[in-house]
Chain A
Amino acid sequence: MSALTLFYVGTSYLCAAVFFGGLSYRLAGYAATPSPLRIPLTPQATTVFGVIKKNAVSMAVFRALFIGERWTWVGGYSLHVIFVFVFLRHLRLFINPVPEFLVDLQPLALLFAALLPLPVLFLISRRMYVDRYRYISSGADYFALVLLLVIGLSGLALKFVSHSDLVGVKEFLLGLVLLSPVEMPSHPAFMLHFSLVLLLGFYFPFSKLVHAGGVFLSPTTTQVEDNREQIHANPRGGN
Chain B
Amino acid sequence: MGAIDVAGKSIEVDEDGYLLNLGDWSKDAAEVLAKGEGIPLTEAHWEVVNFLRDYYDEYKIAPMIRILTKEIGKKLGKEKGNTKYLYELYPGGPAKQACKIAGLPKPTGCV
| A contacts B: CB pair < 8 Å | no
